[in-house]
Amino acid sequence: MNSVEKLAHGIDAFVDLVGRATSWLALGIALVMGANVLLRYAFSYGFIWAQELEWHIFVPICLFGMSYALLHGEHVRVDVLFQYYTPRNKHLVEVISAFISMAFCVIVIWLSIPYVYQSWSIGEGTANPGGIDYRYIVKSLIPIGFAILFLQSLSEAIKNYIAMRRA
């Protein structure tokens, strides 16, 4: 295994670890949503902070889950034509897709940095009374999530390029 393959393997291991850790948040969001529904409909009682907690938990699930889904091939792929390609062409499409994904990630990271910086500079919290403050921390997950997706896309490009050369 050469150094580039080791890099791809290391990225995969990191993304897998982050994805597995993040997957526990699914249990958390299910419990919070269940409690919110029970309180609202059974007791006509609710908390604004509990409703906001739902999307505070949902943000890392989405932002870190997209890299985990890409790693495990669970992302959306249009197989109508792809299924008829030769193995070499399939890998070529995957490499091109990975580079497009990396470009998109760079754009999102670049555009989100000022957004996150502004949120941190004002100590952004909730506009709702009784809501959760520290919204700037949740917004910080945007560039972090897309940086992890960039890394996973790089790993996919490496693995598919190597597979394409071997095909």
Q: Please give the Cα distance from 68 to 33 (Å, whole number).
A: 23
Mean pLDDT score, 67-85: 83
For 115-149, the pLDDT digits (tens) are 999 999 998 888 888 788 888 899 999 999 999 99
**83, 147, 139: which is closest to 115 by C-alpha?**
139
Distance in angstroms (rounded) separating the CA atoms of residues 109 and 143: 5
Distance CA 120, CA 114 (A): 10
Domain chopping of the chain, boundaries: 3-166
Q: How confident is the model at residue 57 (pLDDT cuts 50, 70, 90)?
A: very high
pTM: 0.90
